[in-house]
Structure 1
Amino acid sequence: MNRQITASTCCYCGVGCGVLIEHDGERILGVSGDPAHPANFGKLCSKGSTLHLTGDLSARALYPELRLGKGLARTRTDWDTALDHATSVFARTIAEHGPDSVAFYISGQLLTEDYYAFNKLARALVGTNNIDSNSRLCMSSAVVGYKRSLGADAPPCSYEDLESSDCVMIVGSNIAYAHPVLFRRLEEAKSRRPQMKVIVIDPRRTDTCDLADLHLAILPGTDVALFHGILHLLLWENRVDRDFIEAHTQGLTELKQLVHDYTPSMVAQLCGISIEQLQQCAEWVGTTPSFLSLWCMGLNQSTAGSAKNSALINLHLATGQIGRPGAGPFSLTGQPNAMGGRETGSLSNLLPGHREAANADHRAEVAAYWGVEQLPASTGLTAIELFEQVRSGKIKALWIACTNPAQSMPDQNAVRAALQNCPFVVLQEAFRTTETAAFADLLLPAASWGEKDGLVTNSERRISHVRQAIVAPGEARPDWAITVDFAQRLEKHLRPGQPSLFAFETPTQLFDEYKQMTRGRDLDLSGISHGLIDRIGPQQWPFPTNASAGTARLYGDGVFPTANGRAQFVAEPFRAAKEQRDAQFPLTLITGRLRDQWHGMSRTGTAAQLFGHVGEAVLSLHPQDLRQHDLQPGDLVSLKSRRGEVIVPVSSDDNVRPGQAFLPMHWGDRFLKGGVNSLTLPAFDPMSKQPELKHSGVRLEPVQLPWRLFALIEGDVQQHFETLRTLCEPFSYVSLSLAGRERPALLIRAASASAADPSLLREIDQCLGLHEGTVLAYDDPRRSIGKRVRIDNGRITAIRLAGETLAQHWLQNLWLEGRTDEELRRWLLAPLSTPPGHGATSIASNQTLCNCKNVSQSAVCAGIARGLDLLGLKEQLGCGTQCGSCVPEIKRLLVATARPVAVTS
């Protein structure tokens, strides 16, 4: 085998880890961290280290598919037919209804060259600012915060600052899950410098809190009040840098008047913390030599997201903690190239090179560079507004690229209705299995990670090269190539006889044209090229022409990219979240991330081993709320908001406060009937237009669904997925997931108020392969109970339990272990269904604690019982030795099982 190694960049979060792709020119065989990449120095998280397992061809879009009428099925077509049809529809729509009747919704997972091609297509050719990105859902409040306070959308810090800071404040980010490689760096830094203070501000106690010296479990949405309360104390105790304020800032007088009313007692009560906690936090912020803040979606996804960002940045300006090692406000990007999208102008209010679409001079500069008469002056639609206008019929043709709005947008019932009603939806996507694919009239297969070439920018402004290792499968093409091909065809309708604006044959040509638009601006990329990065490695901007190295930190000279060079204190009062608890909806729903899944699971949802840690959507409730609702862990409930409902099992979790509930964000309708975002609300921040995905009012309602179904089938998971998902549609509760490593399997859990029709069970059995071969079967029609287990070559390959499912975990363990025993036959033929050792075998014992080394929770517990400590567990089991994400959980198990030591005199 011709094994090769190609250095590239991970396609998940904004850390921007370097990866080494092992391949044979046709298939990706393995992935490891790149020791030479300055973002990760060889480390990878559980998601990055399993990238090679996510290229399931049966989940990929391989050929163009076209539907010639709503309600009809898409059929395979060729690229010319597909793009000619799209061109005809867009040209006709623009001619009849104007350029603002079409829109583009793109993604923070695109490469910089892809972004640039889409921007030029929308603004220069079509003549619309209706181009927005899913970065609107995750980073737009950080953009507004940086621009209002500091003058430009430019995170001023470097990852090195995590290691040199004396006080790190983590706000609204479970960094241990969302950015694990950075968390490892912080963890190692604190182990070397125990005097470093770590403050975590999060309503829920997460794995990140295990590193904290202080955890402020504030009430959801009260961040602005907290930051104003901290500033009140800093001013009161004279712990501010008055020389820095005088020389480099403006606006403190107005802010002082505002925060005067945010007294410790008022803030403590409003935030749900103690005065002592508030004072301790303010003391560390105001007295440690260097102060660094890190934040993510907990600040951004809010109707007050812009105010939260600026209120936090105010603390840095007041203390002069910016522009030097270990200090500064540092937003952590959620997607691999959300930063590149912001640079190229891929939000509806932006233009390339950190320009504003509303600024006439900026529009003129870009129009002149592109060689067009003018750019559109009308305001473009942001994500929420865009889908509202799709639903109302104003947007008649929508082009979606590399994103899954039928999972990720809030108020999913409205979004799906919009997509269903839209006359023409194009989806440019690598995976045909996303929720949005069902709504596409035209599906265009895009190349994915490892199959395309271009640049990305990570959270610390570092530009890395994403390199192609293998040829894209089927007829999939790079995103930039699809966009340019479409644009060239559309030009013949909209600019007949004029020179082409899209004479690009390589991604390098796109970048080389784009980078000149940044020359002399705050993000100057004019010295960057694909070749330069290949020679000297990933670089941080600004990197002007003739530079020899990138810029590690910004604003070290105290000069900011504002009109007068001064940073701006922003004075905005605290405003509560849109939906507060009330009698009708007495719980606050918080959404967040899982350790081993990413965003909408388009990619991670194809890798069975990434479901080992958490295998289904479970609602976490405080034990007090469980008792109040007379619930037991595992019970199904209907979780309702003002917009929709989902049925989910509950768990007892004292990491959430009473009155709150936590549900992971990842589960869309494909994996959980209805999907989590059928609950969330589309209310958005007035400045950033970012929706409040983190904070919804909900209530629990009991459901009576006594008839249960559990099914498992190993083999080609994607082949069975859609068929079984459709067959299970009549059930009230449906959850699908994957399991296994060497032998992946599809798992289905479902429930309904009454027994399924026997004919439906026969269809399910046929799909599961339980209608032939060696199948152990038992039926009790009187109780509507049926059991089926298929045995091939002495091991279980398929299971179906109907009526009740007490044995599911026991059977799943037998399947995982690849064995059967006499107990299986005795249990199967018994009139009662209680499995052997029921109660001892639970979900937890099935749980994979360490995905990297495939170590279960039961194995860790057994090791602890033998007297192993953390080091011993690492040495004997291997857990915690690769990405380290499992270490906080292992530490909790060690504490929970610690035995008192007898003390003798």
Structure 2
Amino acid sequence: MEIDAAREVRTTCPYCGVGCGVLAKIAADGQVSVRGDPDHPANFGRLCSKGSALAETIDLDGRLLHPQIHDRPAGWNEALDLVASTFQHTIAEHGPDAVAFYVSGQLLTEDYYLANKLMKGFIGSANIDTNSRLCMASSVAGHRRAFGSDTVPGTYEDLELADLIVLVGSNLAWCHPVLYQRIAAAREKRPEMKIVLVDPRRTMTSDIADMHLAIAPDGDVALFTGLLAWLGQYNALDPAYITAHTAGFGQALFAASTLDLAGVAAATGLSEDELSRFYSLFARTEKTVTVYSQGVNQSSQGTDKVNAIINCHLATGRIGKPGAGPFSVTGQPNAMGGREVGGMANMLAAHMEIENPGHRERVQRFWKAPAIAGKPGLKAVEMFKAVADGRIKAMWIMATNPVDSMPDAGAVEAAIKACPFVVVSDVLAKTDTIRHAHVGLPATAWGEKDGTVTNSERRISRQRAFLPAPGEARPDWWIIAEVARRMGFGEAFARESAAGIFAEHAALSGFENDGERDFDIGAYAAIDVEDYEGLAPFHWPAPSPGTPLRPAERGGHARRQSENDVQADPQPRKNTQSGHAPITTRFFADGNFYTPDRKARFIALRPTVETRITAAFPLVLNTGRIRDHWHTMTRTGKSPRLSQHIAEPFVEIHPEDAQRYGIGDADIARVWTPRGEVLVRVLVTTRQRPGSLFAPMHWTDQFAARGRLDTLTASLADPVSGQPALKHVAARIEKFTAGAFGFAVTRKRPVTMAADYWAIARCRGGWRVELAFANDDADWPAFAGSLFDAADAEMLAYHDRDAGQHRIAAFQGEQLAGALFVAPGPVAVSRGWAAEQLGEVHASQRERFRIVAGRAGADRPDAGATVCSCFSVGANQIVAAVAAGCASVEAIGAALKAGTNCGSCRSEIRAIIETGRVQAAE
């Protein structure tokens, strides 16, 4: 595609569930740049570090560009025929439950819709589940138990209107940075706003918290059940709301009252004083929002945690009102869209219930399907166990990498390797999952995809293509439709655009709804390609004109909560009527839940304390995300900027535990569980709770030697939701005794690395590599030669064998091909400076020896470890600015720009400033 002039396209970020609007500008020469969309109501122009670096992730390096069968190139017809015929033969011989789809919150809604339709309505099995099962399944289950539907009651505006925000198991500063910045900005305008952080770790989000409750693992049910008892004891309830709109309150309060404050303290690891202060604050603050995420959901008690939180909001009537409500924030860009189309094994499309015969009949009739799944399918953990034991014989994995992301990942990999037929649709040719595929299908990536996503506040936005599809890559919906056609279902999958699929999805949402179901976007059932292209972000519900409101509202009793609580007909559309009455964008302020009697259900809960640690595994391992990387790094791993902040897998450990186990900062440690082990860098920090470890889940076999963290986690899951318990794993740790440590920069990515530990990351002009060796007897020049792959290079070297110091640099012409630094301890060389040398001209011998010496000249001060990825500002630069008189985050921003874009680094900047003040005082 030739580009004659610069143009700018409105699209949506493909990372977390915030759903930020992005403006992608394509210059006349084809160069792409991105910025936040100031008109998008999710972010108003803000982007996080990952979103800001999107243009660095769209290259074709490593892309899967052509279909493959057994790693050989194949045409689309051959590949699709093989997929369709193998599925048909497997179903004919073993039944529909012998096949399965494992899909992803990275899919667009249109992709998700067709995958669900094919599996549940035409294959006739519900064996389709999603990596969103690992993200928010417990929220779905908790919502359905309490509300009768998977409904998020509030909107992002509530975060700015609240007087109290309780963040539970949610590190917003790093995982949902734009929401964090919206809260921080609201706090600056209203300093009286209070924020409580409930998290075992003192994460970067604690920077804005008035109170940090360092709760014991899985203490959340006890914390909020104790809160319910407190609310009852101190008459902080809303009796009118409870009576009019809920059921089961007496049983829930009775169950909660069996746990006194001392019992809550014992179960949570918090003091009675901390509990009293939190409970009193909650009780007296009418406008309270409780935001929760993976620390709640990823638990064997996840659904109970969700309902414990919801119980407290129902008991106080703090739901669906401006600045009040329980709020689940999702981890993936389209986890909500997947929920809307029934992308999980225990759901039907359009928020209908697979266990409801009437709903099954309705969906089957709408689809004109030959069959409909008659029971829930296998959830993710169960699904891969069924692959392992042979019940599932053919599997299609779409846009996800379960060999790295599933719990007990080693067992999952073994299951996939042994499966008779595995299809993987993906954008990359090399992932830890696709290497085991019999068929690889090239899918379009962000920037090439066209469709919709739904964010955490139920806002549907367009992802628009602004790049041509490379090679033979095709949209996921097209691939699914072509397989369906070859299986004999062509008429039902004869859509020629994402717009047509969205219209069908919208039509199903309104089909025989009459206000009985929460999800309804029937107003878009007749949308055409032109209006779909211009579709503006909108909240659901958006029913068709004339659709009745929920039954209890038909008499005109629906209450408008605020000027911003309503939205009229989202925008004019061809072939649809306009001008229907405004609809509320919040749910449940006046009740009208989706249960048979329209009343919410309190869930009676009796907290249990789970002790998983043993003498052999005495520590609790908590897993999660970091600021600048995403999932298994298939996208963020392409960006040099995003690898500057944290470039290798690590484990956080409290100083007391580090001393107990003889581990020092920057050592390499072996972390064990009964399922396996990893090697990771050590970060000793008081932010970590004693007795616990934290490690991120992003590293894979593509980026580290032994950093695949989910090989350690168990397949233990919540009995209601099926969501794995990834935050509470018994583990042990020991120092990896290294004979030598190494650090290298190299222009080419190394093909092999003969090291016991290695971790590789992009840098500008090449790659940076961290290394550790059990022994110090390597042939270092030979090792460097294989690392750099520069046979004709001129080598300079320094060796001090007695001190264990080795430095080797290789030059091709005036360019650095690579440099290796070896030491008996962690290598003390500026990573940023060394990486910069790959892009410099090194004409003189003096400049070359400076590289071998491992230090910059006086005219090139070391920036230090990167703190601000957006503007590549290092810790040493911030320290220097503090010494020069910058005494606030704002002053640092004015001097260096650090912290002025996404703001994710502001807490780290503040910590550096505070450290400088302490040192000055000493």
TM over 0.5: yes
d(CA) in 2 for partners of 1:232, 1:811: 53
Match of 2:737 in 1: 704
Q: Would the aligned equivalents of 2:741 and 2:827 in 1 still touch at CA under 8 Å?
A: no
Structure 2 residue 24 is matched with structure 1 residue 39: no
Amino acid at match of 2:331: G
Q: How does 1:135-214 map to 2 (within 5 A)?
A: 135-214=132-211
Q: Would the aligned equivalents of 2:792 and 2:812 in 1 still touch at CA under 8 Å?
A: no
Q: Would the aligned equivalents of 1:464 and 1:533 in 2 still touch at CA under 8 Å?
A: no
d(CA) in 2 for partners of 1:533, 1:63: 29
Residues 86 and 779 of structure 1: is their aligned pair in 2 closer, same or farther, counting only changes over 3 Å?
A: farther
Match of 1:510 in 2: 501
d(CA) in 2 for partners of 1:362, 1:27: 49
Instruction: Using the TM superposition, give the Cα deviation of residue 872 of structure 1 relative to its aligned residue in structure 2, in angstroms.
Output: 2.4
Instruction: Say which of 394, 397, 402 aligns to 1:397.
Output: 394
Match of 2:898 in 1: 879
Residues 900 and 51 of structure 1: is their aligned pair in 2 closer, same or farther, counting only changes over 3 Å?
A: closer
Q: Equivalent pairs: percent with the same residue?
A: 40
Q: Which runs of 5+ in 1 are unaligned?
A: 68-73
Instruction: Say which of 407, 424, 429 aligns to 1:427.
Output: 424
Structure 2 residue 769 is matched with structure 1 residue 748: yes
Residues 806 and 108 of structure 1: is their aligned pair in 2 closer, same or farther, counting only changes over 3 Å?
A: closer
Q: How does 1:587-736 map to 2 (within 5 A)?
A: 587-674=619-706, 675-714=708-747, 720=749, 723=751, 727-728=752-753, 731-736=755-760
Q: Deviations over 1:531-588 (max 9, x none)?
A: 55665721111000136146421113221111101111011222334x6222111111
Match of 1:852 in 2: 870
Structure 2 residue 593 is matched with structure 1 residue 560: yes
d(CA) in 2 for partners of 1:797, 1:107: 39
Q: Would the aligned equivalents of 1:433 and 1:602 in 2 still touch at CA under 8 Å?
A: no
Match of 1:127 in 2: 124
- Which secondary structure state, in structure 1, belongs to the residue aligned with residue 867 of structure 2? strand
Q: Deviations over 1:602-654 (max 9, x none)?
A: 10111111011111111111111111112211112211001110011212100
Instruction: Using the TM superposition, give the Cα deviation of residue 50 of structure 1 relative to its aligned residue in structure 2, in angstroms.
Output: 0.7
d(CA) in 2 for partners of 1:335, 1:620: 25
Q: Would the aligned equivalents of 2:788 and 2:817 in 1 still touch at CA under 8 Å?
A: no
Instruction: Using the TM superposition, give the Cα deviation of residue 28 of structure 1 relative to its aligned residue in structure 2, in angstroms.
Output: 5.3
Match of 1:70 in 2: none
Q: Would the aligned equivalents of 1:25 and 1:470 in 2 still touch at CA under 8 Å?
A: no
Match of 1:71 in 2: none
- Which secondary structure state, in structure 1, belongs to the residue aligned with residue 386 of structure 2? helix
Q: Would the aligned equivalents of 2:667 and 2:826 in 1 still touch at CA under 8 Å?
A: no
- Which secondary structure state, in structure 2, belongs to the residue aligned with residue 501 of structure 1? helix
Instruction: Using the TM superposition, give the Cα deviation of residue 384 of structure 1 relative to its aligned residue in structure 2, in angstroms.
Output: 0.4
Instruction: Using the TM superposition, give the Cα deviation of residue 823 of structure 1 relative to its aligned residue in structure 2, in angstroms.
Output: 7.7
d(CA) in 1 for partners of 2:336, 2:427: 21
Structure 2 residue 744 is matched with structure 1 residue 737: no
- Which secondary structure state, in structure 2, belongs to the residue aligned with residue 57 of structure 1? coil
- Which secondary structure state, in structure 1, belongs to the residue aligned with residue 350 of structure 2? coil
Residues 757 and 888 of structure 1: is their aligned pair in 2 closer, same or farther, counting only changes over 3 Å?
A: closer
Q: Which runs of 5+ in 2 are unaligned?
A: 546-567, 571-582
Match of 2:818 in 1: 798
Instruction: Using the TM superposition, give the Cα deviation of residue 43 of structure 1 relative to its aligned residue in structure 2, in angstroms.
Output: 0.7
Residues 897 and 710 of structure 1: is their aligned pair in 2 closer, same or farther, counting only changes over 3 Å?
A: closer
> Which piece of structure 1 moves more, 391-400 or 699-708?
699-708
- The TM-score normalised by the length of structure 2 is 0.90
- Which secondary structure state, in structure 1, belongs to the residue aligned with residue 184 of structure 2? helix
Structure 2 residue 522 is matched with structure 1 residue 523: no
- Which secondary structure state, in structure 2, belongs to the residue aligned with residue 47 of structure 1? helix
Q: How does 1:53-64 map to 2 (within 5 A)?
A: 53-64=56-67
Residues 770 and 788 of structure 1: is their aligned pair in 2 closer, same or farther, counting only changes over 3 Å?
A: farther
d(CA) in 2 for partners of 1:659, 1:845: 34
Instruction: Using the TM superposition, give the Cα deviation of residue 595 of structure 1 relative to its aligned residue in structure 2, in angstroms.
Output: 0.9
d(CA) in 2 for partners of 1:633, 1:143: 40
Q: Would the aligned equivalents of 2:118 and 2:484 in 1 still touch at CA under 8 Å?
A: yes
What RMSD, in angstroms, separates the aligned Cα atoms of the two structures? Answer: 2.5
d(CA) in 1 for partners of 2:54, 2:739: 39
Residues 95 and 793 of structure 1: is their aligned pair in 2 closer, same or farther, counting only changes over 3 Å?
A: same
Structure 2 residue 796 is matched with structure 1 residue 776: yes
Residues 429 and 756 of structure 1: is their aligned pair in 2 closer, same or farther, counting only changes over 3 Å?
A: farther
d(CA) in 2 for partners of 1:548, 1:700: 58
Q: Would the aligned equivalents of 1:778 and 1:828 in 2 still touch at CA under 8 Å?
A: no
d(CA) in 1 for partners of 2:69, 2:450: 27
Instruction: Using the TM superposition, give the Cα deviation of residue 402 of structure 1 relative to its aligned residue in structure 2, in angstroms.
Output: 0.5
Amino acid at match of 1:746: W
Residues 814 and 379 of structure 1: is their aligned pair in 2 closer, same or farther, counting only changes over 3 Å?
A: closer
Structure 2 residue 544 is matched with structure 1 residue 545: yes
Amino acid at match of 1:525: I
Q: Would the aligned equivalents of 2:225 and 2:605 in 1 still touch at CA under 8 Å?
A: no
Residues 206 and 822 of structure 1: is their aligned pair in 2 closer, same or farther, counting only changes over 3 Å?
A: farther
Instruction: Using the TM superposition, give the Cα deviation of residue 822 of structure 1 relative to its aligned residue in structure 2, in angstroms.
Output: 7.4
Instruction: Using the TM superposition, give the Cα deviation of residue 457 of structure 1 relative to its aligned residue in structure 2, in angstroms.
Output: 0.7
Q: Would the aligned equivalents of 1:228 and 1:259 in 2 still touch at CA under 8 Å?
A: yes
- Which secondary structure state, in structure 2, belongs to the residue aligned with residue 647 of structure 1? strand
d(CA) in 2 for partners of 1:89, 1:25: 46
Residues 766 and 198 of structure 1: is their aligned pair in 2 closer, same or farther, counting only changes over 3 Å?
A: same
Structure 2 residue 461 is matched with structure 1 residue 464: yes
Q: How does 1:446-461 map to 2 (within 5 A)?
A: 446-461=443-458
Structure 2 residue 612 is matched with structure 1 residue 580: yes
d(CA) in 1 for partners of 2:804, 2:884: 45
> Which piece of structure 1 moves more, 520-529 or 442-451?
520-529
Instruction: Using the TM superposition, give the Cα deviation of residue 216 of structure 1 relative to its aligned residue in structure 2, in angstroms.
Output: 0.6
d(CA) in 2 for partners of 1:87, 1:238: 63
Amino acid at match of 2:523: G
d(CA) in 2 for partners of 1:545, 1:264: 50
- Which secondary structure state, in structure 1, belongs to the residue aligned with residue 230 of structure 2? helix
Q: Would the aligned equivalents of 1:795 and 1:815 in 2 still touch at CA under 8 Å?
A: no
- Which secondary structure state, in structure 1, belongs to the residue aligned with residue 522 of structure 2? coil
d(CA) in 2 for partners of 1:250, 1:663: 41
Q: How does 1:74-89 map to 2 (within 5 A)?
A: 74-89=71-86
d(CA) in 2 for partners of 1:422, 1:25: 48
- Which secondary structure state, in structure 2, belongs to the residue aligned with residue 326 of structure 1? coil
Q: Would the aligned equivalents of 2:793 and 2:817 in 1 still touch at CA under 8 Å?
A: no
d(CA) in 2 for partners of 1:793, 1:302: 56
Structure 2 residue 305 is matched with structure 1 residue 320: no
Match of 2:365 in 1: 368
Q: Would the aligned equivalents of 2:641 and 2:870 in 1 still touch at CA under 8 Å?
A: no
Instruction: Say which of 896, 901, 905 aligns to 2:915.
Output: 896
Q: Would the aligned equivalents of 1:540 and 1:551 in 2 still touch at CA under 8 Å?
A: no
Q: Would the aligned equivalents of 2:850 and 2:856 in 1 still touch at CA under 8 Å?
A: no
Aligned length: 869
Instruction: Using the TM superposition, give the Cα deviation of residue 673 of structure 1 relative to its aligned residue in structure 2, in angstroms.
Output: 2.6
Instruction: Using the TM superposition, give the Cα deviation of residue 835 of structure 1 relative to its aligned residue in structure 2, in angstroms.
Output: 5.7
d(CA) in 2 for partners of 1:807, 1:227: 47
Match of 2:91 in 1: 94
Q: Would the aligned equivalents of 2:105 and 2:132 in 1 still touch at CA under 8 Å?
A: yes
d(CA) in 2 for partners of 1:894, 1:705: 34
d(CA) in 1 for partners of 2:850, 2:445: 47
- Which secondary structure state, in structure 2, belongs to the residue aligned with residue 898 of structure 1? helix
- Which secondary structure state, in structure 1, belongs to the residue aligned with residue 473 of structure 2? coil
Residues 490 and 805 of structure 1: is their aligned pair in 2 closer, same or farther, counting only changes over 3 Å?
A: farther
